[in-house]
Structure 1
């Protein structure tokens, strides 16, 4: 590498010390394990059955069978009432036929108030209307004013009114009553009676005991109940089978996940999963992908830390042993030891900063921050380094708010400025400019250094790819790239060429505006 080429991925020695506390692996725990390491919990997983969570199958079965059961109960009651009404209508028609049969036996002498009714009704004439000898019929024939003509005098005289719209083409009324200690159903027929000798209105009452009706009502009820119970059982069986088949993919998926070896975070393949389950599968695969990414970063951090810190520690040990043997002056040994410690400190801080970027990537507490204010604050912190090299520094900013963490913006700016300062000649020029449009904020750090070679630019953003390993760890630009990608931005480094000669380097960061 020529003397004009310089590594640009070193970052400042004074990297924010907060990264030490925030990044994984920063400090060991009291039990000796590294911070951020994965610890296997030997305790068994909690039993989901004991947490009180209702199972999907039980939820579906209850959700299906409960409303269906209530509907069947309501339907059973409705069917029973309808059947009972139909039975009552049929038996009421029989009572009406009995009353009309009695009315055919009436005779009258005299007119209206002076009329006198006569009737001869042998009880055998009513036997045709008695069913299976289970019910008994009673009758009473009276005048309109209640005068007894024939029948059972104990049967109370009717005091009601004929409905405005009777169910039959006759002056008839039906009501429930009690007679001789039994419940009865009574039909009342107002029968006009006319003859050559007179005219009158007869009141014919026919009462029937309810044994047959009650027996038939019980039969209808039992028949309805067992049919509805059979219907409910069939529905329950079908629901159980359907729910069992519908939840089979969930059980299969659960068994597949439980049967996986520890640490297997590969994507779930469920080609036969129903459409309703696909969002859950996709979300699970996304979560496992993020977990795999975190584990890979953790493993890479531990591997890189073990590899990169081994060299400065080995060098430090050799320097200490050399000083103890008296191979060099104590002051010279301390100077070399101090340089080694500084390099190791820079390396550790940058590795922790890189880990912290990944940690912040997973957090959602972003806020709108003015990039110009952050750049001016970082430039003020680095002003002693700028003055030490007698650099002509220029800063030009406009208000530019971006959505990010303040630490990330500060770390990004610090790395870019420190790299430029560290690899610039004494008395050079350094400029920071921020411009923005409707959607993008662009920050450009322009220095007057030697630029970068094509060979170095091909691996510039890779960790530990410094151009000069004695002056950098190779993590500065890797941190910058991780930060810009986290903020959905981009970073580019381009040599500034005038008349065919490289006169500096422009590092440009583009970030979306708020």
Structure 2
């Protein structure tokens, strides 16, 4: 038995748990339905027995009333059954009454001669102090219930036992049976409905602390890892809440470790790279001063280029890690046009060196609620990418719009653009479009990945389109209207 229980429990655990409220209702209501069904059947049978006993008692009373009219006259059995007596018998029932009086020698004295005889295996009823037998039979195509009473008759000349049979159709019994069944089903159904409502209310009331705990967890910000109060739930659920608190503490510790790692890595990577860059520049100046061989100049130039690419890659990787840990950070109103203008001024020297026309279209100021540092990094990546992949003599246009109350930012360049088949893939880290590889072979493939993550953090939709006249690339960022504080 124990092995069977463990096997069933294992199968139950392997199944999808589903709703706790639903399982409690099912496990409480299913036994209740079974018990109510059994109770309905039992009540119905008891009511039928009581009804049969009542009708049998009435049938016996009719049989006794008829037996009182059986006497012996002139040496033979006679039965004086006036029509008034028969009318009174039939008035008491909804069906028909049949009777038969049999004499001492088996002769029919009165009544219906073809009324079915008493079967030989019918026992005498022990419920009444009389020699009576009850049995079912068919008569004239209808089922009937018959009471057969043995009645002693005698006078001075003879004595013996007469048989009085009175039968009635089952119409009245069936009517009462249907009424009993209907009343029983109605009563049990009413009880079941009332019990279902009470159980549903009780389960809902008992699970209310769990629902409150769920709402409390859902209302928390992503960065809120404070402990939950175990006293809010039942004693049986408190170990689960305590385990959740322990898990959130470990997550908090892990996040703190990761933040320290980012800070340490940023310092450890940038410092030696900066030193290497400085040493390379000093070596290049010394080579220029003393007129070293062209091969040495080329090696130093390659070292400088590799160092710059490594610094750029390290900064992008650290920014990507910082974005991943910035969810739930503090937000503030940010002037989008002013921020974009600041980024354009910072990257203006790069645009001049690359001979690219960098312009900011005139537009009204639009504010949104966000993290200024991350938005600055996102805009810097967009403009930097546009400058890197726009050939000399090209242009990069920056726009800030407001459409239906939603802030919209656009960065459009006249570079090679991105084929439609690759526009979704370029947001993956380290993926680079084929058109970009030709203009900037040393790129890291992280710029648009950072832009996408920061945009997702601010619930902004990012999309790539063709530029003006089908040339270049247009990057459009549409922020939710709810973030607009203008």
The two structures have a TM-score, normalised by structure 2, of: 0.51
Structure 1 portions without partners, runs of 5+: 1-50, 331-336, 338-514
Cross-structure match for 2:55: 91
- Range moving further from structure 2, 289-298 or 310-319: 310-319
SS in 2 for 1:191: strand
Per-residue deviation, residues 312-371 of structure 1 (Å, max 9, x unmatched): 3344444444444449x99xxxxxx9xxxxxxxxxxxxxxxxxxxxxxxxxxxxxxxxxx
Aligned-partner Cα distance in 2 for 1:131–1:304: 107
Aligned-partner Cα distance in 2 for 1:141–1:283: 88
SS in 1 for 2:231: coil
Cross-structure match for 2:99: 139
Cross-structure match for 1:163: 123
How far does residue 186 in structure 1 lie from its aligned partner after superposition?
0.7
Aligned-partner Cα distance in 2 for 1:303–1:202: 117
Aligned-partner Cα distance in 2 for 1:143–1:64: 64
CA contact (8 A) 1:142 1:148 kept: yes
Aligned-partner Cα distance in 2 for 1:156–1:297: 100
Cross-structure match for 2:267: 307
Residue 298 of structure 1, aligned match among 240, 243, 258:
258
1:262 aligns with 2:222: yes
Aligned-partner Cα distance in 1 for 2:231–2:34: 38
CA contact (8 A) 1:171 1:190 kept: yes
SS in 1 for 2:220: coil
How far does residue 62 in structure 1 lie from its aligned partner after superposition?
2.4
Distance 1:54 1:146, change over 3 A: farther
SS in 1 for 2:150: strand
Cross-structure match for 1:285: 245
Aligned-partner Cα distance in 1 for 2:101–2:68: 12
Aligned-partner Cα distance in 2 for 1:117–1:210: 30
Aligned-partner Cα distance in 2 for 1:145–1:262: 104
Aligned-partner Cα distance in 2 for 1:143–1:98: 18
Cross-structure match for 2:382: none
How far does residue 256 in structure 1 lie from its aligned partner after superposition?
1.6
Distance 1:145 1:256, change over 3 A: farther
- Range moving further from structure 2, 300-309 or 127-136: 127-136
Distance 1:150 1:161, change over 3 A: farther
Aligned-partner Cα distance in 1 for 2:135–2:285: 127
1:212 aligns with 2:182: no
How far does residue 204 in structure 1 lie from its aligned partner after superposition?
1.6
Cross-structure match for 1:63: 27
Distance 1:317 1:285, change over 3 A: same
Aligned-partner Cα distance in 1 for 2:137–2:85: 23
Structure 2 portions without partners, runs of 5+: 1-14, 293-302, 304-486
Residue 152 of structure 2, aligned match among 192, 213, 216:
192
Distance 1:63 1:109, change over 3 A: same
How far does residue 96 in structure 1 lie from its aligned partner after superposition?
1.3
SS in 2 for 1:304: helix
Aligned-partner Cα distance in 1 for 2:139–2:188: 36
SS in 1 for 2:47: helix
| Structure with the larger helix share | 2
How far does residue 302 in structure 1 lie from its aligned partner after superposition?
1.6
SS in 2 for 1:85: helix
Per-residue deviation, residues 167-213 of structure 1 (Å, max 9, x unmatched): 22222211122222332111111223333221222222110122222
CA contact (8 A) 2:118 2:135 kept: no
Cross-structure match for 2:404: none
Cross-structure match for 2:354: none
- Range moving further from structure 2, 94-103 or 154-163: 154-163
Distance 1:285 1:88, change over 3 A: same
Aligned-partner Cα distance in 2 for 1:200–1:164: 19
SS in 2 for 1:57: helix
Cross-structure match for 1:238: 198
CA contact (8 A) 1:146 1:157 kept: no
Aligned-partner Cα distance in 2 for 1:164–1:133: 24
CA contact (8 A) 1:108 1:200 kept: no
Cross-structure match for 1:81: 45
CA contact (8 A) 1:143 1:149 kept: yes
Cross-structure match for 2:162: 202
**What RMSD, in angstroms, separates the aligned Cα atoms of the two structures?**
3.4
Aligned-partner Cα distance in 2 for 1:293–1:144: 108
CA contact (8 A) 1:162 1:173 kept: yes
Q: How does 1:220-369 map to 2 (within 5 A)?
A: 220-326=180-286
CA contact (8 A) 1:162 1:171 kept: no
1:103 aligns with 2:63: no
CA contact (8 A) 1:98 1:126 kept: no
SS in 2 for 1:266: coil
How far does residue 162 in structure 1 lie from its aligned partner after superposition?
4.4
How far does residue 125 in structure 1 lie from its aligned partner after superposition?
2.5
The two structures have a TM-score, normalised by structure 1, of: 0.49
Aligned-partner Cα distance in 2 for 1:57–1:145: 76
SS in 2 for 1:219: helix
